[in-house]
Every structure is written in C-alpha cells, then in structure tokens.
Structure 1
C-alpha cells in the first residue's frame, strides 16, 4: 500500500502540472512496413498466365520474380527463373502481374518435374519506395494445373510449413497453413494421422496442428504432409516432399544432444534480403541452414524476429509470416522455440500534444486477442505453460492511479486497460533430456515512446499504464519461481537454461533500457518505485536472485544488444546472487551491430565480446555443456565449457 500511495502521489503531481493539463491526445496510424493495402493473390488465368493482383498505398515501381522449388533438394529453397513488371490497374493503387506459368510445362524450366511440387510456383513482389530508396519485398506461393479441358486452375497449396513443433521423447506436432480451407493429414511410420477438430471430426481449415503420438525416443522418423479439398484426398491432393524429425532422448537419459540460440533478425541496412519484409531474411535463413547442417536438435530464438513497431495488425502479421518463410526450410526438420522482443510491438499510437514543448508519440499494447502477445502466439506453436502441469502466468493488473486527469480522454481511446494481455505461448517451459528450458517475456504489455527519452517513457507509463521495456512483472516472477522450484527438485534434470530478450546486465547498445535504464552521469540505473515499473534495479535483483538461488541454473540467454557477450554473474556483482550463472547476450542474427560500452559496473565480468553476426551452438552430454560461437563466415569465435562452474 505504501508503494501504491507513493506512486499515486507522483501521478497526481505529474498529471496536474501545467505541462500536462494542456495536453491533448490524438490517435495516429504508425507503420514503417505497411506497403500493401491488399496482399498479392492469384485471381485467375489468361492464356497460360497467372494473374497476380495486389494493391499498395500509392503508385510505386513494382516487379515480380517467380520460379519453383527444385525436386532434388532436401531444403525447400526457392529458385527464381523469371521476372515481370507489374502494371497499374484501376484507381486505388491496384497492380496486376502476368506470370507465364505455361513455361513451367517445358522440360527446360520444369525443375520440379516428376515431384509432388510440380505446379507449385513461388514468387517475390519487389516494390521500390522512392522516399527511402529501399525495395520492399513480399514472398508467396500458389499451385496451379490444367483440368480435363486443358483449362488452367488454382489448386490448394501449402503456403507455410510444414513445421515440426513441440518435440518430446514420445510425440511431435506438425503445423501448416494452406491458402484455402482444406483437409490435412500426416503419414508417419506407415500410419496416417488426420487433422481433426475438438470433437474428433475431420477438420477443414487453413491452419492445422497435427499431434503425432506413440513414438519411440531418440528415433528419426520420415513424414509426409498431404492436403486436399476432398476429405478422401482423391481430388488434386498435394503431398509435400518427405521430411524427417527426430524425437528427444528418453527424459533424463543424459544422451548427447545439441541446441542453438540466436536472436535479433530484424531488418538491417544493406538492401535486398537484408531488409526483407521487416526481417534480415538472408542472415536468418543462412544461420538456420548452418545449424541444420551442423546437427542441432532444436533452436531457441530470443525475440526481435522482425521490425514491428506498428499500429497495423496486417503489417505485424505479414512481417512474422515473412520470418517464418525464412526459417521454414529448416523448421520442417526440427523445432524452433520463439519468444518476443521489444520489436514484436503492435499497439495504439497516440500523439500527446503540449502547449509549450514538442509533442511526443507514445505506444501502448492492446488487450486480449488484439495484443502483441496474442497475435505473436497465433503465428507459432509453443508450449501453453509449464512442463510441470500448470499453465502460463495470470495476466497482470494495471498500476494504480494511471491516467489521472486524462482518464476521460483516454477512455475514448480505449485506455488504460484494466488487465494486461495473455501470457500464453510467450512464457513457457519444456524439458529435453536432462535440460529444463524456460522462455520468459521481458517485453510484456509494452508501453513506450518511439525513440524517446527516459523522462518521456515515464510520462507515457503514467498516462497509458502497461509495462516498461525489460521489466518482469509480479505474476510472471511468481510463475518463474514455481517452475524453477519444480525443475530444481526434478531428479531427471541436471541443468536449467532460460531465454528471453532484454539483458539483465547490458554491455553495449541498450544500457538506457533493458534491466538497467541508466542515463549518462548516473552511477546506477533507474530505481524509482513511484513510477510504473520504475524500480528497475530492485526488479532485476529480485529476478537474478531467484535464478541464481538454484544450483542447476546454468545460463540465461538474452538478445536485444546486437552483439555477443559472455558475462560471469556471481556474488561479486550482488551479494544476493548465490550461485554463479552465465549471462550470454547473443543478438547477432542480422540486426544492425552495436559495440561494447565498458562503463557498466560489471564490465570486468565480461569474458568475451564481439559485434559480428553470429549464433550460439551448444553440445550437451550429461553434466557437460560446451558452447561454440560461430560467425556467418564460418569462423569460430570461441569454444568454452559452460558447465565448469563452482557449485
């Protein structure tokens, strides 16, 4: 109560100042990636040409590249063969591109001949935005063929996946997305598993998640996905090429396995695939392929998949789908576990106008199914809560006193929300052999100011409520304690590995936020309990004291800073940190680089640092855990035994 009273006093003082009383609030549209007003789709055929239609925000030069998937490749990486310029149609930014699909009937161009991918066309739309000189891309695919009358027609096509998800020693889930409602099934070990609804009936839908049970541990299975508009799969079925997955070792068997971690693949200067639909398509895909060839069993991805920061739901979802296309070739063989970063942000953008200073634009996460968390979860298949049979954390409560004298104006904008968004599939845990993995959310219910000062962020939180970047709120912290307690007491578990986005101890690029929020001239970061989520340093110490209280805690992976640092965090950093735990920041999956800032108090604890794009590859064999850090050029940055910690 004392903390709430202090906070209420601050809000009343702040919101009753002359500066704030002269405010007005104005909703604004905000999106850097919002190019399409209607996404590309094939609307019909003319003389052997597929007619691709789309609409964009204003007239811009537009080219479509198209090709096919090779029949003899284990990874479905598209090969583009032709291009055509799109032509304006109508008066509402509409465009049409004629794709000469009849040419794929010729042997010289039919690289998928004789395979199940024959008739599948992959395309990329490139749109030149003359304002910034950047080409914006969109990638899609469709399937076509001739009927008995030699007339071209569309047929159901797989447009996302298949993805392997939720691998255990006895089960796996295959997820996929089609371009139209259809039936789906998976063939594994000489049996077909049909996609069904909750009542056990055949499911006709675009999205399918098919659980495969009764599997054996440590076994590689061949699987085939098939879709059709016909429940008997007799009418133009599409069988995707055979793929494989491997089940986990028996729980606690301590067999050798490998996993990988990386983060921050949002788009980067460099043009082309470095800035593809909000993500660095080139680096994200290259690193996934490298890890597949290197033999990893699973991948952890710690947020900032895409640029985000948008008020457009369509733009946000389109960016996430682009990222999925980049990782899909490898995701059809092994599971990728994702969590959110600060760039997975979608919400309401509000211009706050002042009488005597420049306006600021704040953003606030939305509620329920329109929140960043719920939309993110809708695009991925991750565990629903803790492996120890309890669900995700409860949604957090709003801070007391938010809004002040602006309550009526905020109510017209649907703010502030009384409860935070759901945590489902952004906070979860799972076990793989003898390691307990925990994904947590350091960007929950995110409120902020786009490239604003700490003072403005504090004001935005007082106005709209929500949560600060990098802050772990009470319900999530309580959930972490329950989950980590269970893992510590689990005799099958030797090590605990956590991953999220915002580092507890930043080393270069994000000292002004994350779990520090320092400004130049301060010796310590933000620690003011009167401001919503303002006790950052106390929160960080509560979090790290919890993690370090378990002897099995090995490493906490973060991203956010676009570099690599390995930091040894022990009681020399804070006396309440009982056991030493590694902090590894690995934000090198393609976002713009950051150098090291040696001004932080823990800089002597940093054992290794580099700014080059990279990923982490870890080999586990019983109690031994070895880390390797590899760059995109194939250089080994370091190889170190993480498990050599005093206990």
Structure 2
C-alpha cells in the first residue's frame, strides 16, 4: 500500500483485525481478552493513531459520559484519528469505529468488561449526530457515505455479529462492573434514525468484517426485529444502501436467514473492491474483483 500512499490520500478505519489485546488465560481456547492498557500508549486506538495520519475532528473519548467511573481521570482510549470525517468536493465521508475499547467475545464482556464488536458508544453517537446535522445544513454537500467495520445488518453466515447478535438487546458494554443503559438493538436503532430518518443526504453505509460482497436495500418495509421483541421500535421513512465488502478471507457457501434477507439484492463470494463514483447529483457504485478485473456489479444510487 505504501507506494500508492505517496501519490493519493488513504483514509483508513479501525476494525477487529487491528485489535491489540491483553489476554488472560481462563482455560478456554482463546482466553479472556480486553483492549490493551494503558490506553494512552498501547491500546489498539493509540497504536493505530501512531501508524496513520488522519483528520483529528472526531470526538475525544468516552470520558465524561454517564458511565465514566472517574470523572477526574482519563479512563477510556482516544478516538483521535480513528473516528473522523472529511469532505471531497460534494461528498462527505464519515468514519466510525465499531471496535472501540474492544472485547472480542460478547459473552466475556459480562465477566471482564469492555465493549462488544458493533456497539457505537455514547460520545461517538453524539458526535455522529452533530456531524450529520452539519453536513445536512451545508449547501455544498450533496452526498454522505458512512463507513464502519461491522455491518448494521449482517448478511453472511454469522448471526451473532454486526449490530444484531440474533436480536439480543441484552448485548451491551460493561463499564466498571455496570452495564450501560442501552443495548445493541437500541443503539442500532439510534444509528438508523440518524442516518435514515434525520438525514436526507446519507446514501451508503459501507462496511466490511464479513468475507465476500453484499448489497442490502435498507427500506421502510425492512423487518428490523426478532419475533417477540418487546423493546421500543422505530419506523424508517426512506431507503438507503448498505454495502458490505470483505476483501479477503474464507467465504462460507451457507448464508444465515435474517429477517431482512429478502432485501439482499446482490451477493458474491468473489474478493471485491468497491468504487464510489460521484458526478454531481449522481452516485455510481461499482464492485470489481481486483484479481480478475471482473465486474461484480454496477449500481446507481438513487
């Protein structure tokens, strides 16, 4: 990648493969793992920031939230250079971190604390709300694309992933032995409300994590909840597109059956690179196999 970075800007996001962990042996296969500390020097977030130069316009950290155990101290990793936004002509890009303060096993969170994959914590969601509002009011911005490692809606072969976990809203971070007030489904719904209901310019949610390629139509008729879900529900008022593109890794031939599976409009087991071509008000999405140059699909974003 380095030869290309000499000539064109690269904006990168942090994901689970960038995790740097303390691992404690509990006799299990993988042990219990948490984001490495001290956070300021050896966490995944700190090491990521030391290797890349990114915009520094994101939130500070999860300090000074209602679940911050020590208001006078810094208790969380920094968001510096792993949550940010940038503008290219009439396109605004927002980069989120869904693997912040990451504990790899959702089951281990209740024992050791931390944040499960896919959960966007409070200060990050507040920053996203402010940033979306700014771009909505900016007359020079026509399109917003949000990138995040874990898909809002998983489309592959794992149900306990993304922002879903089988619809189990009990999945949530634990801070200083206390669970935060909102679960993964509630937080997913807040994210959808921001990007769909409160934004007219957000066109694409671009994610990775799952191996292979898929395009999902997020639509007002999309089934959002598991059967028997008792929590508060939202209604979407417009459509947008989720594109999931995991370039490498083994692709399962068997896909899970999700409530939204009927709205998955394209899947491919090929490695894929996604290009987003913006021409004025028009947005063209192209997915190409980088090994064979074969076009997987070309799709106009309305």
TM-score, structure 2 length as denominator? 0.86
What's the counterpart of residue 445 of structure 1?
A: 101
Residue 371 (structure 1) aligns with = 43
Matched, 1:626 2:298: no
Indicate which of 296, 299, 302 corresponds to 1:637.
296
> Which of these residues, 527, 535, 540, is aligned with residue 169 of structure 2?
527
**Pairwise CA distance, 1:419:** 1.9
Are the equivalent residues in 1 in contact too, given 2:158–2:256 (CA < 8 A)?
A: no
Q: Distance in 2 between matches of 1:503 and 1:359?
A: 26
User: Which residue of the partner structure matches residue 538 of structure 1?
Assistant: 186
Describe the superposition over 1:512-564 as per-residue Cα deviations: whole angstroms up to 9, x where unpaired: 1221112xxxxxx2112787367111111111111112000100100000111
User: Who is 2:212 aligned against?
Assistant: 563
Q: How does 1:289-438 map onto structure 2 within 5 Å?
A: 327-352=1-26, 361-365=31-35, 366=37, 367-385=39-57, 391-396=58-63, 419-438=75-94
Q: Given that residues 364 and 446 in structure 1 are in contact (C-alpha distance below 8 angstroms), is that contact kept between their aligned partners in structure 2? A: yes
Match for residue 603 of structure 1 among 252, 261, 266: 261
**Greater Rg by CA:** 1
Match of 2:122 in 1: 474
Does the 8 Å CA contact 1:510/1:560 hold for their aligned counterparts?
Answer: no
CA distance in 1, matches of 2:93, 2:250: 28
User: Whole-Å Cα distance in 2 between the matches of residues 551 and 401 of structure 1?
Assistant: 34
Structure with the largest fraction of strand: 1
Following TM superposition, by how much is the alpha carbon of 1:345 offset from its aligned partner in structure 2, in angstroms? Answer: 0.8
Give unpaired runs (5+ residues) of structure 1: 1-326, 386-390, 403-416, 450-456, 519-524
Measured against aligned partners, the alpha-carbon deviations of 1:406-456 in whole angstroms (never above 9, x if no partner) come to: xxxxxxxxxxx972200000000011000110000000000134xxxxxxx
CA contact (8 A) 1:371 1:421 kept: yes
* TM-aligned CA distance change 1:617 to 1:360, over 3 Å: closer
Question: CA 1:360–1:374 in structure 2 vs 1: closer, same or farther (change >3 Å)?
Answer: closer
Secondary structure, aligned partner of 1:640? strand
Query: 4+ residue stretches of structure 1 with deviation over 4 A?
Result: 396-402
**Distance change (3 Å), C-alpha of 1:530 and 1:338:** closer
1:341/1:443 contact within 8 Å kept = yes
Q: CA deviation at 1:393?
A: 3.9
TM-score by length of 1: 0.41
Provide the aligned C-alpha RMSD in A.
Answer: 2.3
Q: What secondary structure sits across from 2:17 in the alignment?
A: coil
Alignment of 1:264-283 (within 5 A): none
Q: Is the 8 A contact 1:420 1:466 kept in 2?
A: no
Whether contact under 8 Å (1:545, 1:578) holds in the other structure is no
